Structure 1
Amino acid sequence: MLQIDTWKRVLILMVVTFGVVFSAPNLFYDRVERHKDAVIEIEREGETEARLAAQSAWPDWLPATIVNLGLDLRGGAHLLAEVEVEDVYDARLEAMWPEVRDTLRPLRDTVGTIRLRDNTPGELRVRIGNPDNMGAALSAVRELAQPVASVAAAGATDIDVTGEGDELVVRLSEAEQRATDDRTVRQALEIIRRRIDEVGTREPTIQRQGADRILIQVPGIGSAAELKEIIGTTAQLTFQPVVGRASEGDEPGLGNEIVPSLDEEGVFYELERAPVVTGEELVDAQPAFDQNGRPAVNFRFNTSGARSFGDYTAENIGNPFAIVLDDEVISAPVIQSHIPGGSGIITGNFTVEESTQLAVLLRAGALPAGLIFLEERTIGPELGQDSIEAGKVATMVAFAMVLVFMFAAYGLFGLFANVALILNVAMLFAVLSVIGATLTLPGIAGIVLTVGMAVDANVLIFERIREELKTAKGPARAIERGYEKALSAIVDANITTMITAIILFAMGSGPVRGFAITLGVGIVTSVFTAIYVTRLFVTMWFERKRPKTLTV
């Protein structure tokens, strides 16, 4: 008999209601978007009349889930950046010098004097006074080697130590270089994500491409230049001891460097290259004002940074201490007293906007290496709006033609299929909204394809019912057998398409993934509406009318 259990009917209606309710906010896109932005701003910065008015644009008791519009629909900025992973090798080896020096000091009677040489890229070179005992120096420094933190390099160590004449040479091993490259790109990816999130842009696409490249797409931002300003600054903050004032052409002592002043033109400082504390040990940075009312930045270190900062200030009262940002001294105050607690203030000739931007960059962290921008594009909102309108027209034309065809070909059953098709699109948008998917032009193509596939399932069912009606088994039996026999063909066709969508999602990136997501979700909603929703409509109609004959 043609029947559906009550609990199944309730479940189907609940799923359909979910689709209608959670897709409805997309019909009022601008209002919902203003509401969501206002809620976020109120949480961050407090209430104002304008924000409260924007918040009231959409009722709080209704869902506020909407589909995010991609770069090609909203407009925005696109960048492809390459991470200069080699920069990290030199920084890593420079940081090893104090450790190598302290390891060799107890062996001075054996190896003689210990001097740091001008290092070539990728090497740390140390000259010893007695090269005849190079073996003892090599053995001692090799004890500093650590296992490579990578599963793919089990058993390998992070440094290679060799002797060349009277010089001991330390290099990163190949296994450590590969592991460092991977860590550097991952760290850069996360820091870029944090910096963009700090600015509050909507649904950016930030993903790795290849070994050392990062794709960044941010809808709604003004230009690629604006995006580069947000993510391109390395914001590497260090606190370094000051050796003295210097001139531009001066040669720094071994282990030192000449760094220009940011605010004082023509002024240079000679600093010890090894920092006391770095920006990596910062846990917070906030824009503020100094005691004279000028814009500044308050900062706070973590436990280890606070200890190092406090110990150094206690031991160096009366000496200058340089705060260096991106290889420029922004301040070189004299330490007046011990500074416990690990907090302080960065002052300089900042504007309020510059101090706010600096605080954002410091909170997000320093990029581990420089970026080279290989590709940049700005997509204007007008072009995005044109894409939206074109997508709307394409979808509506396809939708209208399908609805007319189904009603003309199958009459009342075609009308049931049309209602289910509308619900199918509603459920598709509901799922995309809830999971936070980003809709792009290829995604719109996936929706149009979903419409065709949903109709295809209904066509299979209705044609099977037609065939069953010819056997004169009665309308109820014909409808039941039609759904049963069409099920295998529908499932087989949609499984193969789902496999394609999964492969596209796994192998593709950006817009290709967007197409795969809409196609995959559309397959699930299409099968549900074709098998369950239209069957529920047909069953409810049949129970009410009880026709003796049936024409499809």
Structure 2
Amino acid sequence: MKIFNFKLVIFIISIIFGVVFAIPSLLQTDYGKKINLGLDLQGGLHMLLGVNTHEAVTSKMKSIATAVKYFSDDEELLIDGLTVENDSVIFSVLDKDEMPKIDKMLSEISGLDISKDNLEYRLKLTEEETIKTKDFSVAQAVETIRNRLDQFGLSEPTVLRQGESDIVVQLPGIKTAEEEKAARDLISKPANLELMAVDEDRIEQVYQMTSSQAASYGDLILEDINNPNKKYLVKEIPILDGSQIVDAQVAYSQSNQPIINFTLNSAGARIFGDFTGKSVGKRLAIVLDGKVYSAPNINERIGGGSGQISGGFTVAEAGNVAIALRSGALLASVNLLEKRSVGPSLGADSIKASMIALVSGTVLIFLFMIAYYRRAGVIANIALVANVFILLAVIALFGATLTLPGMAGIILTIGMAIDSNVIINERIREVLRNGASVHKAIEDGYSNALRAIVDANITTLLVAIVLYAYGSGPIKGFAVTISIGVLTSMLTSIVGTHGIYQAILPKIAKDKDNKKWFGVK
């Protein structure tokens, strides 16, 4: 018989694949893909954030007010007193004949509770829409924070919703106070960009005004980002908000200072162009998170849907703001409810303890297999080592994060892998005891063991899939490791060892010593 057969060739190729792609992780080389270690293995930052969901309702009502203002300006309808008060939008129509147009526009906004008193409108969200808005604000915060952290360059951050309004954030690899502060600032930054018209008629009175007096005119008093003593009086209803931004990039001014160039979508570009065309000679305040970054004069209509934010940024600050703007504004602010730092030394202790369990368990399995099954046990041990290398290689290539439960999954996989070889060897020994030839014993042994091995592994794989679908964080890591381990163990035990037996069958038959090869007379 030929030494090489297709099963042995597949097994050898799998071993080479496993060794090549597992070495970067095992030796921590400078090249190749490596396994990402989770928070519990390499240390990092664990945070519990609370989302202020009521702010999402206020934000939505501001957006509705902006839509009403743009529609009335575009259709040249006369409205007065447009303001947001107690999560309600209030305005009056000056011409009763124009009410049907307003009614038609408002009917296209879902979830609105509209009440009218003569010419005055009061808009609120329905109770159902309020609940949906709050729920969406949490889901949007999870997605936005995850996008920001991905663009920030942190490897494998975990961002999960917990309960109705809380978010769990785990950041492996955060080790210094500077890294922690940068991550926290990026996460908590609302990045709420608004373009607001400066109230040119009353701007000179801003230093003598109170906030309540400004509100009576439909205005807000905002501070300059670089000088808190400098005040701006701006219209409460923004011309545009950050929801129309499609891109934001760091650039440099003529004086080589970092600035942020932003681009609006088509609807935002149209609104921006129309407003600047009607407001030549006036000022437009660029407001980010309630602070005025600049208030340039409008010299001409600005088309193209692009703008610029300058405010004495450092390079790092400009980069973080650009990331936040690209990822989208948080509909509601977040508060830090709990913070827990996991030191690298604790992670190293976890790895050490896991490695002791892995090595000691493997050694005991090796000794038992050799003592009980003799040379068949050696073949099973070869398949076991190959299984570990292939498993680590696949985890590294997938870019999966290895956590402490994942380490437990690897150790459990070793037990599952050797279990398949035990079943195969026992089936071979049963046939040999009945006086069959070695060739028939091996083929019948694999044939008889195949169903039991496949059934057991498929049920384990199904459970792992369910754990991954409904689990979170560490549970997902455990499920991924077990799933990969099930597939690799079937490859090494069913295909690999069978290929080895087929290659050395002439030698086994020639020796005629079943006890030496299989531990049975």
TM range, smaller chain: 0.7 to 0.9
For residue 433 of structure 1, give the secondary structure of its aligned residue in structure 2.
helix
Q: Which residue among 214, 225, 231 is the counterpart of 1:268?
A: 231
* Cα distance change on mapping 1:142 and 1:177 into 2, 3 Å: farther
- 1:14 corresponding residue in structure 2: 13
CA distance in 2, matches of 1:256, 1:530: 74
Residue 63 of structure 2 corresponds to residue 119 of structure 1: no
- 1:429 corresponding residue in structure 2: 392
| Structure 1 residues 207-247: Cα deviation after superposition (integer angstroms, max 9, x where no partner) | 33444433322211235544211111111111111002413
Q: Which residue among 186, 206, 210 is the counterpart of 1:230?
A: 186
Of 372-381 and 8-17, deviating more is: 8-17
Residue 24 of structure 2 corresponds to residue 25 of structure 1: yes
- 1:504 corresponding residue in structure 2: 467
Residue 96 of structure 2 corresponds to residue 96 of structure 1: no
Q: CA shift at 1:436, angstroms?
A: 1.6
Q: CA shift at 1:445, angstroms?
A: 0.4
- The answer to whether the 8 A contact 1:104-1:141 is kept is no
For residue 144 of structure 1, give the secondary structure of its aligned residue in structure 2.
helix
- 1:145 corresponding residue in structure 2: 107
Q: Which residue among 201, 204, 211 is the counterpart of 2:157?
A: 204
For residue 296 of structure 1, give the secondary structure of its aligned residue in structure 2.
strand
CA distance in 1, matches of 2:108, 2:25: 55
For residue 546 of structure 1, give the secondary structure of its aligned residue in structure 2.
helix
CA distance in 2, matches of 1:103, 1:496: 60
Of 278-287 and 415-424, deviating more is: 278-287
CA distance in 1, matches of 2:124, 2:481: 49
Unaligned runs of 5+ in 1: 33-57, 59-63, 148-156
CA distance in 2, matches of 1:240, 1:140: 23
- 1:46 corresponding residue in structure 2: none
| Structure 1 residues 136-176: Cα deviation after superposition (integer angstroms, max 9, x where no partner) | 969953652237xxxxxxxxx42122347985432223443
| Structure 1 residues 70-126: Cα deviation after superposition (integer angstroms, max 9, x where no partner) | 1111211122323333322222223323555788999x99xx9854466223x2234
- 2:166 corresponding residue in structure 1: 213
Question: Across the two proteins, how many residue pairs are aligned to each other?
Answer: 505
Q: Which residue among 190, 211, 216 is the counterpart of 2:143?
A: 190
| Structure 1 residues 238-259: Cα deviation after superposition (integer angstroms, max 9, x where no partner) | 1111002413624113432221
CA distance in 2, matches of 1:162, 1:139: 16
* Cα distance change on mapping 1:336 and 1:72 into 2, 3 Å: same
| Structure 1 residues 317-366: Cα deviation after superposition (integer angstroms, max 9, x where no partner) | 32222111111112222233444433343222333433333333333332
- The answer to whether the 8 A contact 1:104-1:137 is kept is no
CA distance in 2, matches of 1:216, 1:272: 37
TM-score (normalised: structure 1) = 0.82
- The answer to whether the 8 A contact 1:417-1:455 is kept is yes
Q: CA shift at 1:403, angstroms?
A: 1.0
State the Cα RMSD in Å. Answer: 3.3
- 1:38 corresponding residue in structure 2: none
For residue 374 of structure 2, give the secondary structure of its aligned residue in structure 1.
helix
- 2:326 corresponding residue in structure 1: 363
- 1:35 corresponding residue in structure 2: none
Residue 514 of structure 2 corresponds to residue 550 of structure 1: yes
* Cα distance change on mapping 1:225 and 1:138 into 2, 3 Å: farther
For residue 534 of structure 1, give the secondary structure of its aligned residue in structure 2.
helix
- The answer to whether the 8 A contact 2:83-2:236 is kept is no
Q: CA shift at 1:510, angstroms?
A: 0.4
* Cα distance change on mapping 1:286 and 1:115 into 2, 3 Å: closer
For residue 198 of structure 1, give the secondary structure of its aligned residue in structure 2.
helix
- The answer to whether the 8 A contact 1:117-1:254 is kept is no
For residue 85 of structure 2, give the secondary structure of its aligned residue in structure 1.
coil
CA distance in 2, matches of 1:337, 1:169: 36
2:148 is aligned with what amino acid?
A: R
2:24 is aligned with what amino acid?
A: P
CA distance in 2, matches of 1:139, 1:221: 55
CA distance in 2, matches of 1:486, 1:540: 20
- 1:535 corresponding residue in structure 2: 498
Q: CA shift at 1:15, angstroms?
A: 3.1
2:254 is aligned with what amino acid?
A: Q
- 1:65 corresponding residue in structure 2: 33
How much identity, in percent, do the aligned residues show?
A: 38
For residue 402 of structure 1, give the secondary structure of its aligned residue in structure 2.
helix
- 1:81 corresponding residue in structure 2: 49
Larger RCO of the pair (alpha carbons < 8 Å, separation 6+): 2
CA distance in 1, matches of 2:473, 2:379: 36
